[in-house]
Structure 1
Amino acid sequence: MRAEGTTRRLMSWGLCVAALAAALAAPEAAAAPETAERSAGVVRGTEAAPDPGASPGERHRPGERPVWTLTATGTEARFRGLAAVSRRTAWVAGSRGTALRTTDGGRHWHDVSPPGAAGEGLEFRDIEAFDARRAVALSIGEGEASRVLRTDDGGATWTESFRNTDARAFYDCLTFFDSRHGLAMSDPVDGKYRILSTEDGGRNWRVLPTEGMPRAQEGEAAFAASGQCLVASGPKDVWLATGGAATARVLHSADRGRTWTATGATIPAGDPARGVFGLGFRDRHHGIAVGGDYRAGQPSPDAAAVTGDGGRSWRRSVLPPAEYRSGVAWLPHSRSRALAVGPTGTDLTRDGGRTWRTVDTGAYDTVDCTPDGGCWAAGVQGRVARSGV
């Protein structure tokens, strides 16, 4: 019976991946402007514009299978934090201290918001989950607004494990290498990015020494737009995305944040609203960067770049997304396909990030995929969707 069950699970996973591939094989959807709010998030000292309340819609050609299937979350919070555990289980975290969890593929969402988070005005911008019960969430902002909370019981209770007491620090993103080792990052303090480290799954944190961190450029910061400004791959490699300064950069550490090197990215910067917003690595060598200018109506040329050497060098996408994108994720077990999302749509690459085409026009801020063949996206006005399979 065990062998039969394993065979059935493998067949089911294969069918899911095949269906997702079929959905993404459809002709390019007709692009159209969105009425939804399109701003990216927080650059140091610059808050995003408020939601105008318009409801964005997806557009597909007749008979075209949608990439995303929306789920009913019952809230209008904006979700920039997303942790996809499997095709059935996912966590989202967002504005007004809101956190939700599903364990049935999005058919039902449970409000697992930390008590008092809404009243304190916490803005969750990142969440990392290890399974259906354990998750770590980051709220962003200056001073004590930056906090880390952890749950071990599916969100029934939360424990605050870190509260920033330095008014100069502003934490943007967090990431985990495994269920014990993780990092969180702050915009520069005294000219260098500040890195928090945990070795017990987010229960305790310590600030790492800054001797191995390159100096930040004038005006440089990270974007708290999708929970993807700090990403890890494997047991020790981690990358940090920046913007706002003269040059957008990607910083890389191969020793869990103790020492870093910085490389200029090809995504334009030179303005507090422009730079690299999200990173995705399928292994320690191959990665994709996305970004642009988050302001509505502003052009975002060269909004994607790729690396094949772990971020030591970056190449422009030959045909990048036409507009700003804040999140990116590799499709499960694919060496060439990835999705990029933003307020004006979703783009697909079939060649590792060299060329992109729009496959959906719904508004999303972040995207995540799981080894069992599931992909999830989240964004404005409580929008959370799973891959349309």
Structure 2
Amino acid sequence: MKNLILALIVFSLLKCTSPQLVEPKIEVINSPTSSLLQAISIVDESTVWISGHDGSFVRSQNKGESWELFKHPTGDSLQFRDIYALDENKVILMSAGPGPLSRIFSFEAPDLWEENFVMLDSLGFLDCIDFWDDRRGIAYGDAIDSFPYILLTNDGGDSWSRADTTKMPNAGLGEGGFAASGTCVTTAENGKAWIATGAGGNCRFLVTTDYGQSWKEIGSPLVTGDAAGNTSVSFTGEIGVVTGGDLMKPQEYTKNVAFSQDGGSSWSLANQPKTIGAFYGSAITRVDAQTFAFACGPNGLDYTQDFGQTWSTLDTLNYWAIDMKADFGYASGTDGKILRISLHP
């Protein structure tokens, strides 16, 4: 009897001290637009910006309870496929498209616009942007002149210049990024950044540790093809996730998710997710001792808590982008869809 009582006491103590496991919860948000929303930038728990097509983007300052809709003054031709929030009032917006449709703007609410970059090369196409801090940032686009197309800024996005091509690998034929979720490039502390490339039979990472001054390449295990490869890369500390697939095979399973646990030096394929087809966006975050990785695409939104060994589906609708900040985040997609995701116990 004494042994039984002692065992019950130990079990109770372990139960009390073990971290409470959490599962993602989703809330459908009332959106102010029906435009495709395909890039997300979270400022803090209250404020988030989401950009999209038809020259439009939205902001919430109360955890998604209500939203403001903004539009570029020249019309609906711009597709804002990436956005980076400098603070609750100022953002950097990247529009994507051939040649001069690829532009970078700064916008300060309610209506102050500055155009800071226009693609002059007719073969150019910007895919994504990110920032290390409020001054230093990076933009990536499809290869030009046999080199990766990488832009850098040191003044908060007011001006941009191409990175030194002599300090980077040559580009593969037809290599570029997928301007789908604003996450084909991600930055980290101490000048680190990863660019996830694809298309034209290419699939690799371009990696810098000195704020884009020099670059090396690391292979990716995802599927290759004319419209295949990496689409999105995300990190939390040394743990990374890359998503992708073959956009020409929307109803097939392919090698479309991999994980790194050594800062991106090596990557291992995940098991097959629940959702079929390519993934456009990814996010990864840690809550206490749990790691959550998310992958979204036209056929749904999946997540894993064990580095891709097993998967669960959060939703089966069409999502292009996802962003997580600690224990909360958002996903967005076609028809102005917005989800708020919570990881609270």
Q: Which residue of 1 aligns with 2:115?
A: 160
Question: For 1:79-158, what aligned pairs fall within 5 Å after superposition?
Answer: 79-118=37-76, 121-152=77-108, 154-158=109-113
Instruction: Work out the CA distance in 1 between the residues paired with 2:271 and 2:336.
Output: 34
Q: Which residue of 2 aligns with 1:47?
A: none
Number of aligned residue pairs? 323
What residue number does 1:75 align with? 33
Alignment-derived partner of residue 208 in structure 1: 163
TM-score normalized by the length of structure 2: 0.88
- Superposed CA deviations along residues 3-46 of structure 1, whole A, max 9, x for unmatched, are xxxxxxxxxxxxxxx99x6443xxxxxxxxxxxxxxxxxxxxxx
RMSD, aligned α-carbons: 2.0
1:315 maps onto 2:268 in alignment: yes
SS of alignment partner, residue 177 of structure 2:
coil
**Residue 269 of structure 2 aligns to which amino acid in structure 1?**
R
Q: Partner letter of residue 225 of structure 2?
A: G
Are 2:200 and 1:245 equivalent residues in the alignment? yes
Conserved? CA contact 1:287–1:307, under 8 Å: yes
TM-fit CA distance, 1:98:
0.7
Q: State whether residues 143 and 174 of structure 2, in contact with CA within 8 Å, keep that contact through their aligned partners in structure 1.
A: no
The structure that has the greater radius of gyration is 2
Give the aligned residue type for 1:375.
G
In structure 1, the residue matched to 2:13 is none
Aligned-partner SS, 1:244: coil
Q: Please state how far the C-alpha of 1:357 moved relative to its aligned partner.
A: 2.5
Instruction: Give the match's secondary structure for 1:337.
Output: strand
Which one has a larger percent strand, Structure 1 or Structure 2? 2
Aligned: 1:383 with 2:337: yes
Amino-acid identity (%) = 32
Paired letter, 1:168: L
1:178 counterpart = 2:133: yes
Does the Cα contact within 8 Å between 2:82 and 2:94 map onto a contact in 1?
yes
Instruction: Render the CA deviation track for 1:338-363: whole Å, top value 9, x for unaligned.
Output: 22111222111112344422232232
Partner of 1:42: none
Aligned-pair distance for 1:321? 4.8
CA deviation map 1:198-222 (0-9, x unaligned): 1121112122211112112222221
Tell me how far apart the structure 2 counterparts of residues 158 and 263 of structure 1 sit (CA, whole Å).
38
Partner Cα separation in structure 2 for residue 188 and residue 212 of structure 1: 15
Which structure 1 residue ranges, 5 or more long, are not aligned? Answer: 1-17, 25-66
Question: Aligned to 2:262, what secondary structure does the other structure show?
Answer: coil
Question: What do residues 263-288 of structure 1 show as CA deviations (whole Å, max 9, x unaligned)?
Answer: 2211101222x1111111112x3211
Q: SS at 1:96's partner residue?
A: coil
Superposed counterparts of 1:312-351, under 5 Å: 312-323=265-276, 324-333=278-287, 336-351=291-306
2:335 aligned counterpart, secondary structure: helix
Indicate the SS of the match to 1:262: strand
In the TM superposition, what whole-angstrom CA distance separates every residue of 1:268-325 from its partner, at most 9, and x where no partner exists? 01222x1111111112x32110111224643132210011232222111134454221
How many Å separate the matches in 2 of 1:303 and 1:109? Answer: 33
CA distance in 2, matches of 1:150, 1:332: 31
CA distance in 2, matches of 1:186, 1:292: 19
Q: Which has the higher contact order (CA 8 A, sep 6+)?
A: 1
1:300 to 1:319, Cα distance in 2 relative to 1, 3 A? closer
2:127 maps to 1:169 = no
Q: Is the 8 A contact 1:182 1:202 kept in 2?
A: yes
1:189 pairs, out of 134, 144, 148, with: 144
Task: Specify every segment of 5 or more residues in structure 2 that has no aligned partner in the other structure, as ranges.
Answer: 1-18
Q: Aligned with 1:305: secondary structure? A: strand
Supply the AA of the counterpart residue of 2:46: R
Shift of the 383–322 alpha-carbon distance from structure 1 to 2, 3 Å rule, reads: closer
